[in-house]
Structure 1
């Protein structure tokens, strides 16, 4: 089985900007590319789990979001890092338009995206972590047995927490 770190996107990987989809508006939170590289080097799968209500509201398309995700991966290559997969929820139960207006199982804090990733990548939840800037990120992870951590983009906490996890694992495996 594989170990993984699940990351929320907006406010965890990139600076929070409402309904981000434009490449020119994308900005990594300080230390995040380095944190992802540490995770890659330590053998963790890095999987993004993101609610994308902007799709549901009609602000941008799924293809716009996919373009941004490809750009993020291209930028991470500069750091020797990568994201293994992206899972997204394009729905919203109240503000969605057309087929996107529904109360689904994938929108965090529900667990559908995590369930799919765990199955697709044969993930051992007891050796995995979830990081996000919202309480529902942590809640979704913990509902699946994944230890969750809330991070604050203004404190650049992801890199420090990842360093602690990787160092602890290194010591335990010595």
Structure 2
């Protein structure tokens, strides 16, 4: 059996911003997140990112800016001994009616197709309820909310999905998953 972890990006791996993370300089990893992903990668986990990036549609940043952010993420992961198997992003705005913007499951279905893996045993990690709703809609086995990013605000609002688990951050989740192995 494979171990597939699908992660939201902003607020889970890197610091979130209410005015968008717009370039590589603004892409600042949450302390411990890169190391957590590297540890999971080394333990045989398949790691993928599913991220809404409506800043593209809103003209806040360009595709080149997004590519630079993802290059920085991959470089940091490689330096720590890790990697990502796929990064899926939705470039659309909230009113574009696409099938990929979370809470719709399109990004996760893309990951499933690209990696040729079912999502039945996958774990979806996010800092907002829409991330977990996408995980549920795609059939992920577990949905985990991190308290980083928008996580505390999500909890304070009482938002939940059935079976939702809560962890402090990605480092705590990695400890938990590696202990379960």
The TM-score, its normalising length taken from structure 2, stands at 0.83
TM superposition shift of 1:77: 1.7
Preserved CA contact (<8 Å) 2:4 2:122: yes
CA deviation string 1:129-169 (max 9, x = no partner): 11110001011011112111110117852111221122112
Normalized per residue, which structure has more helix? 1
Q: Structure 1: state its 5+ residue gaps.
A: 95-101, 170-174
DSSP 3-state at the match of 1:56: coil
DSSP 3-state at the match of 2:120: helix
How many residue pairs were aligned? 162
Q: Does 1:32 align with 2:69?
A: no
Runs of 4+ with deviation above 4 angstroms: none
Counterpart position of 2:101: 107
Q: Structure 2: state its 5+ residue gaps.
A: 150-166
TM superposition shift of 1:57: 0.4
Q: Does 1:152 align with 2:164?
A: no
User: What is the 5 A alignment of 1:9-88?
Assistant: 9-17=9-17, 18-88=19-89
Counterpart position of 1:97: none
TM superposition shift of 1:81: 1.4
CA distance in 2, matches of 1:54, 1:156: 27
Q: Does 1:167 align with 2:159?
A: no
